Homo-oligomer: A and B are copies of this chain.
Amino acid sequence: MTRADVAVSGSEALPIMELAMAFYGSRALMSALELDVFSALADGPLPRAELAGRAGIHPRVAADFLDALVALKLLERDDAGYHNSELADRFLVRGRASYAGGFAEMGNASLFPLWGKLTDLLRTGEPQIPPGGNFFEGLYRRPEAARKFMDAMDAFNEEIATVLGSLVDWSDFATLVDVGGARGDLATRLVLAHPGLTATTFDLPPVRELFDERVAEAGVADRVRFEGGNFVEDELPSADVYVFGHILHGRDLDQRRNLVARAFAGLRPGGVLFVYDRMIDDDRREKTLSLLGSVGMALVSPVGSEYTSADCRSWLTDAGFEVVATKPLAATDTVVAARKPA
């Protein structure tokens, strides 16, 4: 076949071109957050020149960049100038409780350059971050980075608390341990939703300061306490409910099974373990962001990966649990709930 034999094909290749250029849109979101475009529009529309001035965008590129944000459905444009779209107004104005830009901010700071090393990961199987030191220990030495990471992780906790609340009857539960619960944001929401409940947030000691800040702000310091430790090695306090949120994906298979077994041992009979992560669909062919996210775990962790909800259920039943629910959660997660027989 010579080149000239090829049939008309450019438009049919559009999905390839869109995928090849998809990162332009990610970068536009990241830079818009870095320049705080959406906060500048929090109180109403602005003409282009004024918006560009406030966000520090040079006139040469202002029209194209801001109109690209219109095409991405993050801004709208009319005679009054640029407005936040409903999506941006809810999720991208900094300081609002519903702010969900933390994940994209993490992308800006670290994930984007890291994914530039994807081919090296694929060839070697080795993480592409500087060697030595635990990811979280390193993170917690940098308070601003730690706060951003937690903002990103906590963005969907209200939905998570609501879904966990709906999956089982909480009226008999008095105590909860959120394992790897960071600054206690989810535990705070759960005790506020369930008046009879007290909670323990179990995480590395350096998180303590951010925890104290969060529970004081919410006025629940008497109902949510912090216990410093390493959940891989240290004994977990006994409780009616355990939450394993975004912790199993950072561990190898033996540690996952070990953690599930220790949860079974530590739970009171009738108690419930909730496990959530960005789980892969059981047939491993649909959830693009979970599969790519699993590759992304390998960029930062020597053992981490995402896993299917079927995998998760098998670890739970092998440990003696009865699985009671599997449900989509927040933007990209899945939760599995399992009960220790009474």
Contacts and interface: CB of A to CB of B under 8 A. Distances in A.
Given A20-B107, A295-B64, A298-B60, A71 B156 contact: no
A288 B72 contact: yes
Contacts of A98: 6, 9
Interface in A51-69: 56-61, 63-65, 67-68
Interface residues on A, range: 35 or more
Contact of A3 (B9, B19, B218): B218
A157 B98 CA distance: 47
A2 interface: yes
Interface string A303-339: 0011000000000000000000000111111000000
B65 A122 contact: yes
B123 A10 contact: no
A75 B253 CA distance: 27
B159 A68 contact: no
B22 A25 contact: yes
Main SS at interface, chain A? helix
Contacts of A72: 19, 288
A121 B58 CA distance: 8
A31 interface: yes
Contact of A118 (B31, B104, B331): B31
Interface string A196-208: 0000000000000
Contact of A13 (B155, B298, B305): B155
A112 B111 CA distance: 13
Nearest to A296: B24
Contacts of A31: 118-119, 122
10 contacts: A6-B158, A9-B158, A10-B155, A20-B29, A21-B107, A22-B25, A27-B115, A58-B121, A64-B291, A64-B305
